[in-house]
Structure 1
Amino acid sequence: MPRDAKIFIAGHRGMVGSAITRKFEREGYTRLLKRTHRELDLRNQQAVKEFFDLERPEYVVLASAKVGGIMANKTHPAEFLVENLEIQNNVIMQAFRTGVKKFCFLGSSCIYPCKAPQPIKEEYLLTGPLEPTNEGYALAKIAGYKLCLYLSKEYGFPTVSLMPCNLYGTNDNYDPENSHVFPAFIRRFTEAAAKQLPEVTLWGTGAPLREFLHVDDVADAVYYFLQNRNEPEVINIGYGSDLSIRELAEKIAAAAGFTGRLRWDSSRPDGMYRKLMDSTRARSLGWSPKISLDEGIARTVREYLAGDGRRNG
């Protein structure tokens, strides 16, 4: 990609989109197209068409999505399905119509069956039922990937689809009602440490296993595969190992300086028991993560305490 290429990063203010924007800026790209939700509602088909007709981006990264934690997904599955389908269909089809040189679709590990063998290989997609607590979001992401795949195979539309594991880091969403587990723990434990609370109650049993990747590593993957991958099949982007939610809580509590007791409320849902991605394909193609989990936790705690790198906090 030439440094003066026009690149549209859809969702540039979100955690993933902002990390991708920072990556491209560091690499010397000067014509990044950015639009806030107020400036361009990606759910609006006509508005998206007018944007593509006017700007004619050469490369597109779709990092915009309606996202949320277990409770938000479980409570509003229709909204997660419909809004993500609208965003994806509008951006993908206009990119295809206007002849974009390369399109990057970002999905999620939740596209895989809830009882898939571990670690999860790309070929396990659509081999079993999805995790019920985020089925709406998962169905939308599957549809987005398949649309990219079909356009590639039928018309030669150049796409790459990346499926990251659980992400965390700079510019995460720390809203107490809608955040994911990692930022929720960062907020809970830093506040508990500041107030010197004797105890913090957490949802579930703490037994489920999760894999976490720093958002700067997924930005690096996007940059790498846009330039080094010309096949439309899905690629897993993962850290390579997982840990229990209990272990994660203990690590974040220690980094935040919380020394009180952890209490687990087993009446609350755990979600899918394990989601470890098999990222062998990505590594065989030349990409691997660079930020260790301990380093990422320490960096994220520092950013949160400094008041940087957070949304809805």
Structure 2
Amino acid sequence: MEKQEKIFIAGHRGLVGSAILRNLENQGYSNLLYRASSEMDLRNQQEVLEFFKSEEPEFVFLAAAKVGGIIANNTYPADFIRDNLMIQNNIIDASYKFGVKKLLFLGSTCIYPKFAPQPMKEEYLLTGELEPTNEPYAIAKIAGIKMCQSYNRQYGTKYISVMPTNLYGPYDNFDLETSHVMPALIRKFHEAKENESSFVEVWGTGNPKREFLYVDELADACVFIMNHYEENEIVNIGVGEDISIGDLARLIKDIVGFKGAIRFDSSKPDGTPRKLVDVTKLNKLGWKAETSLEQGIKQAYKWFMDNQL
């Protein structure tokens, strides 16, 4: 990507999109396109086609998606599969129709089988059953991957797909009903500290292991891959290390400064036992994460304190 070329960031107000926008601005890209959902509904095919026709973007970061944690995925499965399919279909097809040079599609590691060998390699896609709690979302993301690959095969496009691990950081969703585990725990421990509660309840046994990547690292990896990768196969983006939910809770408790106890509610679902991505391919391309988990959580907590309270 040349610094003056038109780059469209779909989903620029979300956790991922806002980080990609920050990264591009910091690197001196000056011709950035974005629209708020009030200005353009990405689920509306006509609105998307009109935008591409009038603006003619040359590069597209497809970071727009309907996302949420276990509760949201369990409660609104139809919304998750419908909205994500509509957004992806509209943007990928419009990119083809209006000659976009290159598109980067943001998937998710929930595309991998529930009991995939760990760490998860890119080739494990579609080798087993999905985690039931987020299957509709995962199927939509798999459809997006296959759509990019199919357009490449049939039309000779350059559409690439990346699979980020669990993300956190500025502009995360801290709503306890719809958020992922990291922002939910940050908020829970902060509120418990403020209210001088005696304990914080954490869903599940605390045994499942998860990998977490600071979102500004993901953005840097996405821009790097957009500039250095053109293959048809997906690329994992992560740190290559994981932590149990129990240890994560204890780390957040210490960073927030909560003095009470942690109680694990084993009647609540754990989800997938372990999710760790193999980042060998990404590292061989020349990119490696640098932000430690403790450093990242401190930055995320500061952002929460500055912007959510």
- TM-score, normalised with respect to structure 2: 0.99
Report Cα offsets for 1:24-67 as digits up to 9, x if no partner: 00011111101000100000001100000000000000000000
Q: Tell me the residue number matched to 1:234.
A: 234
- 1:9 and 2:9 correspond: yes
Secondary structure of the 1:259 match is coil
> What SS is found at the alignment partner of 1:68?
coil
Does 2:278 align with 1:278?
yes
Note the C-alpha offset of 1:232: 2.0
Query: Cα RMSD between the aligned structures?
Result: 0.9
Q: Which residue of 1 aligns with 2:126?
A: 126
Contiguous gaps of at least 5 residues in structure 2:
none
- For residue 287 of structure 1, report the CA deviation from its aligned partner: 1.0
SS in 2 for 1:172: coil
> How much does 1:306 deviate?
2.2
CA distance in 2, matches of 1:202, 1:275: 19
Structure 1, unpaired ranges of 5+: none
Equivalent residue, structure 1, for 2:73: 73
Alpha-carbon separation, structure 2, partners of 1:7 and 1:275: 32
- Distance, in Å, in 2 between the alignment partners of 1:186 and 1:200 is 11
In 2: Cα distance, 1:223 partner to 1:190 partner: 33
The alpha carbon displacement at 1:304 in A equals 1.4
Distance 2:233 2:83 in 1: 24
Question: For residues 175-214 of structure 1, what are the structure 2 equivalents within 5 Å?
Answer: 175-214=175-214
Among all aligned residue pairs of Structure 1 and Structure 2, give the percentage whose two residues are the same amino acid. Answer: 55
Tell me what 1:174 maps to: 174
- Secondary structure (helix, strand or coil) at the match of 1:298 reads helix
What SS does the aligned partner of 1:264 have? strand
**Aligned partners of 2:291 and 2:153: how far apart in 1?**
35
Report the alpha carbon displacement of residue 17 of structure 1 after superposing the two structures with TM.
Answer: 0.2
1:158 partner amino acid = K
Alpha-carbon distance in 2 for matches of 1:83, 1:183: 23
3-state DSSP of counterpart to 1:173: coil
Q: In 2, distance between residues paired with 1:77 and 1:128?
A: 20
The number of equivalent residue pairs is 309
Normalized against structure 1, the TM-score is what? 0.97
Distance 1:238 1:129 in 2: 22
C-alpha distance in structure 2 between counterparts of 1:280 and 1:188, whole Å: 35
Which aligned pairs between 1:1-313 and structure 2 lie closer than 5 A?
Answer: 1-307=1-307
Partners of 2:102 and 2:2 in 1: CA distance: 13
Cα distance in structure 2, aligned partners of 1:61 and 1:192 = 38
CA distance in 1, matches of 2:77, 2:302: 34
Runs of 4+ in structure 1 off by over 4 angstroms are none
